[in-house]
Amino acid sequence: MTLSPDPGADIIIFGGAGDLSFRKLLPALYMAHLHGRLGASTRIVAVGRQTWSQQQYLQFIGERSPEFIEPSAFEAGPWRGFLERLQYLSIDLADAAAYGALRALDLSNPSRIYYLATAPGLFATISGHLGAAGLVDERSRIVLEKPLGTDLASAQVINAAVARHFREDQIYRIDHYLGKETVQNLMVLRFGNAIFEPLWRAPYIRSVQISVAETVGVGSRAGFYDGAGALRDMVQNHLLQLLCIVAMEPPISLRADDVRDEKLKVLRSLRPMSAADVRRDTVRGQYAPGLDPAIRGYLQESGVGPRSRTETFVALRAQIDNARWAHVPFFLRTGKRLARRQSQIIIEWSELPFSIFGEGTAQQPNRLIITLQPEESIQLGLMAKEPGSGMSLQPVRLELDLQSSSDKRRAEAYERLLVDVMKGRLTHFMRRDELEAAWRWVDPILAGWRDDFPQPYPAGSWGPAASSALLARENLKWFEESL
By annotation, the residues acting in catalysis are 238
C-beta closer to ligand BG6: residue 124 or 230: 230
Task: Tell me if residue 31 falls in helix, strand or coil.
Answer: helix
Report how many residues bind ligand BG6 under the rule CB under 6 A.
2
Fill in the per-residue mask, 215 to 244: x = in contact with ligand BG6 (CB under 6 A), - = not in contact: ------------------x-----------
d(CA 135, CA 105): 11
Supply the minimum distance, in Å, between the C-beta of residue 214 and ligand BG6: 6
Is residue 145 within the footprint of ligand BG6 (CB under 6 A)?
Answer: no
Residue nearest to ligand BG6 (CB): 233
Strands 140-144 and 171-173: parallel
Specify the residue, 147 or 464, whose C-beta has the smaller distance to ligand BG6: 147
Q: Is 325 within 8 Å of 201 (Cβ atoms)?
A: yes
Q: What is the DSSP string of 140-167?
A: EEEEEPSP--SSHHHHHHHHHHHHTTS-
Q: Is 214 in the site for ligand BG6 (CB under 6 A)?
A: yes
Name 42's Cβ contacts closer than 8 Å, sequence gap at least 6: 5, 6, 8, 9, 10, 11, 85, 109, 422
Q: Least Å distance between CB 128 and ligand BG6? A: 25
First to last CA, the chain: 37
Angle between helices 76-84 and 26-34 (to 10 degrees): 110
3-class DSSP assignment, residue 473: coil
b/e map 384-402, b = 16+ CB within 10 Å: eeeeeeeeebebeeeeeeb
Positions touching ligand BG6 (CB under 6 A) are 214, 233
